[in-house]
Structures are given as structure tokens and as C-alpha cells.
A and B are shown apart, each in its own frame.
Chain A
Amino acid sequence: MAELLIKASDTTNPDPIKDLRGCYKKGDVVVRKPDGWKWGKEELNKKKFYILRVPDKGTDELEFLTKEDEIELGNRYIAESPELGVMAEGPDAETASKACQALANAVLKRLQDYGLSPSYQIVTRTEPIRHVVARRRHRINVENIEDTLQKEVVAELTSDKISITDKPQNITTTLAELAK
């Protein structure tokens, strides 16, 4: 069983990008907690939040509801020599490796002045470049169940009774389908 803290109203920002990425809208799930959670005073304020218990789903199964909409913009390439303590980044592995080699050469040259010629290696790796676009990708369509949410301190609905919209895909389905 899980309980969801859901925004009951929109907040806005005049910058449309900030508004999309930073502001919660009505139906966005803010927090997931296990069943029986003791909510604070403001969390029980119906002007701010609704609380919905989903008896047939656990908090882990509903993690996607509290995820930002994040996209990958390719990779960054990093080359490093742990022995020499140098690191460089590039748009591809070869460029990063060459840049790191240049740094390594400078360090080696100086070390040689002290009579040191340590062995070393240059290792390259990639990391995805991520970008957050929206505060939440999925939104609960609370309009259909608002009477219940307003009336009950903690409303209870099974996942097949909860309608969800995937905003970028513009697909509406049930929570039961999405949380399979």
C-alpha cells in the first residue's frame, strides 16, 4: 500500500521554461509514503494537497510518479590518468584522450626534472549528459475524483480507478496499466 501527496492547485513562474521545470501543477505527485503515514498540518490542507491511498500498489511501484521528465543529450567523454592525477573532457573519446595525454606529458616532463619516470595509463569513459525538462512527466487527472479527494482526509482508490496522463506522450491511461 502507498499514500500519495498530490498538489491540489497550480503554482506558476513567469519564465515558461522555469514554470515547466520548476512549478508543480494540480495533479502532480509530490511525495510517496507507506500506508498509514502521519501527515503534517499543511500536508492535510486541502487547498494545497490531496492525499490518496492506493491499496494495490507499493511505494516502489509508483516511483515513476515522482520522477522529473529528464532526457539524455548524448554523452560526455572523460579521459583520466589516476597515476598522474590528470583528467580531461572532450566531445568524443579520442579528443578527450588526446587532451589528457597533453596534460600527462606536461606532468611527466616536470617529474623527469626530479628524476621520476612513473608508468601510467590513460583511461576513457563516458557519462550521459542529462537535462531536466519538466517537474513531473506524469500527472494524476484529479478532476474526475476531486469530490472523493476533497471529502476524505485520506481518500482510497485502487490503481484501476486512477487516471494518469503521460504529458509529453499525451497518453491517458490508468495507474494500473502504467505501474505494471
Chain B
Amino acid sequence: MATEVVKIVDPDNGPGTDYTSLAAWEAGEQRDLVAADEIAVAKCRCTNGSADATTVTIEGWTTNSDCYIKVWTDPDEGYRHDGKWNDSSYRLDPGTNNGLYVRQGWVYIIGLQIHATHKVQSGHVYARYPLLLEWCTSGDVVIDKSIIRLTAKSTKGYGINIYDPNDTTTAFKIRNCVIYQDGSSTGEAGIRIGAASNDTVEIFNCTVYNFGIGIFNQSGSPDVIVQNCAVFGNSDDFSNVSTIDHCASDDGDGTNAVVPSDWSLVFVDYPNGDFHLKSTDTDLRDAGVDLSSEGFTDDIDGETRSAPWDIGADEYVSGGEVLTAVADILSTSLTSTTLFSVFRYSSASFSSLSTTSSKVSSNVLRELSTLIEVKTSSSDSAELSIVALVEAVANIASQVLTSNAKLLVLRPISTEVQVRTASHVVVLELIRSITSAIQVTVSTSDSAELVIVKIGQVEIVTTAQVAQAALAILKTLAVDITSDVVAADMLLTVLRSVSAGIDSTTLTGVVELITTMGLIVDTSIESLTPKRVIEEV
């Protein structure tokens, strides 16, 4: 059994980051995985929502079916898209350069967002490609639960380009993906195949929208099998594809074809990239075929598919629809005061939805929180509103989510709320609100990081992270902890407050949260003086 070697990729360099770009990960980890008997895993995050802006090429490794490459976003960490393009989730977006090249067999790409934009220079348009699968070595290349987005400015360019004119045997498997174009022109094709005849291409449960040709087998070989796909809004949905089965399109191509009369009744908001099925849809739901024998049983959101399968990347799940409906209602121009009330009211409703997964709840809460607009002023009432807001959302989050998910819910709020007149009372209230919602016990590993913080004659034993956070908070209040007696007292207060029932990972998240609220935080532990590390409590 090969050993998984997991590295963290985070362009925001959050806690635990190994690489700040996927390109650097590929360069740093590239090796003979078979000789090492290892699986190379890149777990992608974006702790502050930044894009990974460097083109990536995966090539030169040695792999096999047991020792492979996996690039993914872990859905439990909350950095994966929610089934539609999300600018605060992990995304590979090198602007007017191509996105990701895979020139390797035994590669799994799961849960990524990849975007490319045509480049215009001196009046000439240069085609760009989000995803290129070319010159691959033998083995599987699996693209799963990913969103491939092309912004085209001409009739050139593909969403996915499969170009494999070599003597290897590669199985290209594209499943549960959304491939769409949102530029001023159409691009040439959503998926273009120019592979050698000894390859296989399977495209299952994908949604392809708004290209010149949806799926285009330009070389005529190999056999391209397309099942359970929704391919629509293209000049031509399919060209030269040998097997089209249980697919929905404008043209009614293939066997068991479905031709919806109005796509706006099928998808939640397809012109804006939301290809989730509406509760009112009757065309794509249950119109597909069970493909579990092909090695997958879930959809783009990670929801389990149920027989008969739906067509397209999304499998309709009723629980998610209920919560999405709540978000839709809330999005209609409510004032912030009303929203606070709704949040409080909603907390009971959310906890009663026993069938709702935490992932769905997290997504909806995130949507809710991004709807809030708070106009702050220097008045105390505005400051109190901010505290109330955080408290209200934290109350909801605490009922259904894990600690990591709670922080993800709270983080977008912080980007909306600009605290310009932070008094120490407000900051402490914020900390209490957040920490009271996140009940996590200190892990044993934290004890190894204990430090003594000494202020004057007072000593306190705590974790490095707690001390760091407390120091950062005080720095936001612009007090000098080395000389100010009041500051020393405040430090003790803060330390005692935040160290009660919170682990280092969560606390680091709290610091990040406070940082993103516009309060400048110096997280350098070295500025704590004097300090020493001790081995035991």
C-alpha cells in the first residue's frame, strides 16, 4: 500500500502551508512515485480567498495505478467551490495565460476551479485554454467535480483540450464537471478531442454550455463516449462523437435524448454559471442512467447520486434546495437590522433540518453572510451592531457546523464589515462572541508549544498560539505591552478569555478573522519578551 504524502498549497500562506502555488508544488514534489511507493497529494486551500495565479504543468513524474498524483480541494475544509464558480474558493486563474497542463498518466484532479481568459494584444486575440490534457503517459487522467471556465474573445480556444498524439494508452475520464464560456465570443469548443486512436475518452455527467461546439472529436478517433451530459447553448452541441447516450441537448443528439423546451426551467441560473437543478425541473431529473459501474456515485457537490441518476453535473438534493430557497428569500434587499433578526430566527430552523449535511449548511450560511451590508460609523451603536451581527451568525453556525466550517462562515462577514473605530471593548466583545460559538478543547499536541509570557512580575503559562493571538489583539489597540501596566492587565484578561476552550488551529483562524476586519496584526511571536519554551506544564 503506497504512502500518501500530503502537502498544503495555499496562495494566502495560511497555517500549515507548504507551497504558495500549485506550480511550486509540482516542481518541489516531482519524482518517481513508483520507486518511492508513494501517492503525491496536493491539498489546495485559499485561506484569504486569493487566486492561484501561476500556470501549472504536471509532467515528468513516474506513476502507476497505485502510485499516483492527486490534486484536490478537501470538501471538509471549505475551500472547494459549491457547485458553481466561487471567487472565495480555491481557483487556478492565471489570467490571460493557460491554466493547467496535464501531460502525465495516473493523475486525479478533484474539486478545482480553473479559468483562462483570451489575451488581446495589439488588436490580435490569442486563444487561451483553462485545461490541456496532452502528450500524456499511459494511465488514467481523471477530472472530477471541477469547474472549467473560459472567457473567450474570439471563436478560438477550448474549455478542455485533449491532444494526445503519441503511442501511449491513456484513459481520459471527465465526470461531474461544469465546462462553460462567459466571454464576448464563443470559443471553439467546450471539450475538444484530438487524441490518438489507442486512447479512450469518457465524458460522464458533465454540463457544457455556450461554445461554438459543445463536444468536438476533431480527429475522429478514438471512440468518445458521452453519457448523462447536458450540452446546450452551443452553435452545435456535438460533432463527430461516436456514442451519445442519455444526454440532454438543444439538438436531441444520440440515443435516449432529452430536449428541454426551456433551460431556465431546468437550471437555477445558467446564464450566471449556476447549473444546479431547480426543484421545478422535470427534464433532467431522473433522466440519466446509473453509471456507478464506472467508479463514481456522487455529483459535483459530493452528494450521493440516487437511481435513476440525473443528467448533468448536479444531482438534485432536496435538503440543499430548501436552504438555497432561504438564501434566495434573504437576498431581496433586507436591511442589516432585519437580517440580524432573520439570522436569529433562522438558527432554530437550521438546527431542525436533521437531514441537512454540514457541507450544505456551510454553503448556505456563507451565502447568507455575503449578503450583509453594514454601514459603519464612529458611533457606539454601529460598533454594537457589528458585535450583534457576529454573535447572531456565530449562534447559527455553532448549531450545525464543525469548528473549521464556523470560521469559514464568519470569515466572509469580516470582509463586509469595516471596523474603523475599534475600541478594546468592541474587540473583546468580538472575541467573546466568536470563541463562545466555537467550543473546542485544547489538544495534547498544543502542550508541546507552551510558553511563559512574563509581564513585569506576572507570569502566565499558555500556548504559543494563544500568546500570539493575545499580543496581536493588543497591538490592534495600539498599546505598548512592555511598559504599560494597564496593557499588562489587559494581556492577562485577553489570555484568560481566549485560552478557555479553544485550540491553536481555531485560534489562528480567529486571528486571521480579526486581521481581515481591517485591524493590523503583527503575528510575530518573537516580539513577545521575555519568553522561553518549556517541556512540561
Contact = CB atoms under 8 A, between A and B. Distances in A.
A31 B21 contact: yes
B20 interface: yes
Interface string B104-127: 100000000000000000000001
A135 B20 CA distance: 20
A41 B18 contact: yes
Interface stretch (B54-62, B316-324, B390-398, B497-505): B54-62
Interface string B5-49: 001111001000111110111011011000000000000000000
A23 B30 contact: yes
A41 B54 CA distance: 18
Contacts of A80: 155
Given A31-B54, A42-B19, A23 B60 contact: yes
B331 interface: no
Interface residues of A, number: 35
Nearest to B29: A42
Contact of B236 (A14, A33, A85, A127): A85
Given A38-B20, A82-B235, A22 B60 contact: yes
Contacts of B62: 13-14
Nearest to A45: B28
Contacts, number: 93
A28 B30 CA distance: 14
B17 A135 contact: no
A21 B19 contact: no
Interface in A7-51: 7, 11, 13-14, 18-19, 21-24, 28, 30-31, 33, 37-43, 45, 48-49
Interface of A: 5, 7, 11, 13-14, 18-19, 21-24, 28, 30-31, 33, 37-43, 45, 48-49, 68, 80, 82, 85-87, 89, 127, 132, 135
Given A30-B23, A87-B239, 19 more contacts: A11-B60, A13-B61, A22-B60, A23-B59, A24-B60, A30-B27, A31-B27, A38-B13, A39-B13, A40-B10, A40-B18, A42-B24, A42-B28, A48-B28, A49-B28, A85-B235, A87-B212, A89-B218, A132-B135
13 contacts: A19-B60, A22-B103, A23-B60, A24-B27, A31-B24, A33-B20, A40-B10, A40-B13, A40-B20, A41-B18, A49-B28, A82-B212, A82-B235
